[in-house]
Homo-oligomer: A and B are copies of this chain.
Amino acid sequence: MNSQGPSPVLFFDTISAFQRSEALRAAIELDLFTHIAAGQTSVDQLAQSCQAAPRGVRILADYLTILGFLRKQNGRYELTPDTNTFLNRQSPAYLGGVTEFLLTPQLKECFAHLTAAVRRGGTAVSAEGTVSHDNPIWVAFARAMGPIMQLPAKLLAGLVGGNQQQPLRVLDVAAGHGLFGLAVAESYPRAHITALDWANVLAVANENAKRAGFADRYALLPGSAFDTDWGGPYDVVLLTNFLHHFDADTCTKLAAKVHAALAPNGRAITLEFIPDADRVNPPGTATFALTMLATTARGDAYTFAEYERIFAQAGFARNEFHALPPTTQQAVVSYKQ
């Protein structure tokens, strides 16, 4: 072995990758980035602000410098522009709350049993994984993911089409934080949004609707998407980050329910992680399938061809694929006619 020979670098980087998640979580829990933004840039200043040991702060901040979150010069640390935008608690785009969802013990437990999930072909943690009726993880999700969903919500609203001054009846299935429906409400001043989700999650959507000033055009429909009577007809049904939790037959059953609830000119808009046919591109999209393997019984990152089949079997006339750069997600618009 020499420097041109085989390299174990990728192996060691990957085996120790879990340390990166823990280091970032520690920094967020200690509010290290916010303190640096506030001008506490030396180890001693940061130790005092974070109420931590100088040795601990020094080693953590050096590690985060190596990862690219900080810059270090003459023994002082500064934030990169990205870190200042997303990890300084004073920033409106602060993402630190996302760790409460993405590093929750329940999610980590699913990945700790990944070998068993591969053997079984689905989550090894319970029969339903994270997709269970009263799972509090979805309240955490709704609260934590809001800040990062503003951009995809705006891009999705751009796919609704039609005259923005006309009335628009919108059903937001599994609304979560509600931001997708609310983005449509913002672009379509006469749109009326019905938000469907479990009651505990809908409370978050309702808060966001009130805060946005759309409470008078916002109705709540608590319950399971599968069992609830949806009413209707609707001009638009939003299916955002929902179908990936289920197998293709269940998706088809749900798509048929969407079809039945739509007016003749209606369309379903699906936001998803939709990899290319090779299932390994784009990388940031295709990696999502592993989360579905670890955390659900039969969910997946379906390709566009698979979504075409699902919506065709449910009676839809045609489907359009839309990439949504710079996000890692994609959309399918499915027309009833």
| Residues of A near any B CB (own CB < 8 A) | 1-3, 6-12, 14-26, 29-30, 50-60, 62-63, 65-69, 72, 81-82, 85-87, 93, 95, 98-99, 102-103, 108, 111-112, 114-115, 117-122, 148, 151, 278-280, 283-284, 286-287, 289-294, 298, 300, 325-326
Min CB gap A201→B, angstroms:
22
Q: List 28 A-B contacts (CB under 8 A).
A: A1-B93, A1-B151, A2-B326, A7-B326, A8-B82, A8-B148, A11-B87, A14-B20, A14-B21, A14-B24, A15-B99, A15-B102, A17-B20, A19-B111, A19-B287, A23-B114, A25-B114, A26-B117, A50-B119, A51-B119, A52-B118, A55-B293, A55-B298, A56-B120, A60-B293, A62-B286, A63-B286, A63-B287
A286 to B67, CA, bound (A): 11
CA of A262 to CA of B58, assembled, Å: 35
Given A7-B82, A102-B16, A280-B72, does the pair A118, B30 have CB atoms closer than 8 Å? yes
Copies in the complex: 2
Task: Give A133 Cβ to nearest chain B Cβ, in Å.
Answer: 24
A32 to chain B, nearest CB (A): 9
Q: Do A292 and B14 form a contact, CB below 8 Å, given A53-B119, A82-B7, A85-B6?
A: no
Instruction: List the 10 closest A-B pairs by CB distance, nearest first.
Output: A53-B121, A56-B118, A6-B85, A18-B18, A17-B17, A17-B20, A18-B21, A3-B326, A55-B121, A26-B115
Interface pair A325/B115, CB less than 8 Å apart = no
Q: Which residues of B contact A280 (CB under 8 A)?
A: 62, 65-66, 72
What distance in Å separates the Cβ of A336 from its nearest Cβ neighbour in chain B? 31
- Residues of chain B within 8 A of A3, CB atoms compared: 325-326
Tell me the complex Cα distance, A66–B151, Å: 25
Cα A103 to Cα B16 in complex, Å, equals 8
A290's partner among B15, B30, B60, B293 (CB-CB below 8 A) is B60
The answer to whether B69 and A10 touch across the interface, beta carbons within 8 angstroms, is: yes
- Cβ–Cβ < 8 Å partners of A16 in chain B: 21, 102, 287
The answer to whether B66 touches A283 (Cβ under 8 A) is yes
CB distance A15 to B8 under 8 Å?
no
A301 — nearest CB in chain B belongs to which residue? Answer: B59
Residue of B nearest to A66 (CB): B283
A17 and B10 form a contact (CB under 8 A): no
Can you add 10 more A-B contacts, CB < 8 Å, to A6-B93, A15-B103, A53-B122? A6-B82, A11-B82, A11-B86, A23-B290, A30-B115, A50-B118, A56-B119, A56-B120, A66-B286, A72-B280
A290 x B118 contact (CB < 8 A): no
When chains A and B are docked, how far (Å) is the Cα of A111 from the Cα of B289?
Answer: 26
